[in-house]
Chains A and B, each alone.
Chain A
Amino acid sequence: MQFIIGVIFFVVVIGVLDAQLPWPRSRAKKGVR
């Protein structure tokens, strides 16, 4: 159960909040959006 809580919290909650920060983006390959 701790594992599932951890995955949801860190991947989803922290991941969504972090994605709103102005980090440099990975360069996508040409033609891939």
Chain B
Amino acid sequence: MIAGHFGFAALVKSRERQAPLWALMLATVWLDIVFVPLFVAGVETITTVGRPGGYGAGIIHADYTHSLVGAIALSLVFGLAFGWRWGSRTAIVLGLVSFSHWVLDLLVHRADMPLFPGHDLNQPRFGFGLWRHPWTAASMELLLIVMGAWLYWRAACAITVEDDKARQRARLVSLLILIGGIVVLGLDVSGIGG
């Protein structure tokens, strides 16, 4: 899941207007950002079932970044890193948005998410496996994108009532969230771009 996380961040922005959207967008994919260098280093890996590179075809061995304890720790780090600058409320929101990544991934992953960091632990793994039903998973992502763009648009319109130029910009950003989310979801589902 990629686009759905961004849709969720836009949705949160509509409720927590003081939190910068770029930081919410960064928070929502923070676990995956940490995953990238670990993947390159071979510490965390992906094996595929079915069509290689297909949507939801990965069993992701992200035992550090996507374990429950690892996700909580990374979310705490993210929240604290911004908390000193923007205050406790925004820090908590950013930490929770970061952790929302684990919760949303739990819905789609194929029981590959452990409780504790580490490869060698004989421990239960979780994931409700919505990726086994790709169109259902993609529909859920699309719903998050549409809801996020729509609620963002409503909130942005509410703060730009007296400024036509700002309102036009609000419309543009909302539209770009919608279009960008659909494009990224389309690339993800089709496998175009790898």
For A27, give its contact among B25, B87, B170 (CB under 8 Å): B87
Q: What's the interface size class on A, roughly?
A: 20 to 34
Which residues, 6 to 23 on A, are CB-close (under 8 Å) to B? 6-7, 9-23
Which chain A residues lie closer than 8 Å to B193 at the CB level?
Answer: 1-2, 5
Are A20 and B29 in contact, CB atoms less than 8 angstroms apart? no
Which segment, of B68-76, B117-125, B128-136, B171-179, faces chain A?
B171-179
Question: Using a CB–CB distance below 8 Å, which chain A residues touch chain B?
Answer: 1-3, 5-7, 9-29, 32
Question: Using a CB–CB distance below 8 Å, which chain B residues touch chain A?
Answer: 2-3, 6, 9, 13, 17-23, 25-26, 29, 32-33, 36, 84-87, 89-90, 156, 159-160, 163, 166, 169-170, 172-173, 176-177, 180, 184, 187-188, 193-194
